[in-house]
Amino acid sequence: MLDRRIFLASAAAVAACGRPSASEAQPDISADTTASTPAPGAPSRREGAPRIVAMGEASEDFASFTREDWRARLTEAEFDVLRREGTERPGSSPLLEESRAGTYICAGCALPLFRSETKFESGTGWPSFYTHIEGALETKTDLRLWTPRTEYHCVRCGGHQGHVFEDGPEPTGERWCNNGVALDFVPDTAT
């Protein structure tokens, strides 16, 4: 009976937004803020404050990046989520407390994904939005757990962001539940 309760509690946490990491044991990745060495020819996004790189303005061809290029460009935590479709620990993202006006961008390629006006407190432990910037995300059906879910990725670099659910606020009724480590925030004053 205890094993069943542990399983049900674990399943409920995973179902809230995402799935377990690709590794056997999910490491505590919330404190991983180390900068990575950039891939050859790719400037590190860690140099200075994050900046928005709109569609059509990227100098890199993200579709041609190899696994090694991504490993060099991203922190281990970012790589786990963006490239291996892992899930960060709930409540670990500093973006949960972010309340300034601005834009949430993909941590992999800096494409604008969400505006701050669409963010809301979902109580799940992950940054959540009721809609996204049109054309920035693509969805697919995720069948890796016991029930189908809608997973979404950055349209430019293919980086995994999170899952969308139909339990959000009006006007859309949607909850775009995002891994904070897969995002960077650019305040309006920085643009």
Rounded to whole angstroms, the Cα distance separating 28 from 92 reads: 9
| Exposure on the CB side of residue 163, measured as CA atoms within 13 A | 24
CB atoms within 10 A of CB 152: 21
- Out of 17, 106, 157, 177, which one is annotated catalytic? 177
Rounded to whole angstroms, the Cα distance separating 14 from 29 reads: 16
Phi/psi at 17 (nearest 5 deg)?
Answer: -175, 90
Catalytic residue status for 177: yes
Rounded to whole angstroms, the Cα distance separating 72 from 149 reads: 30
Q: Where are the beta strands (DSSP E) in the chain?
A: 102-106, 112-115, 119-120, 128-129, 137-142, 149-154, 160-165, 175-178, 183-187
Which residue numbers are catalytic?
177
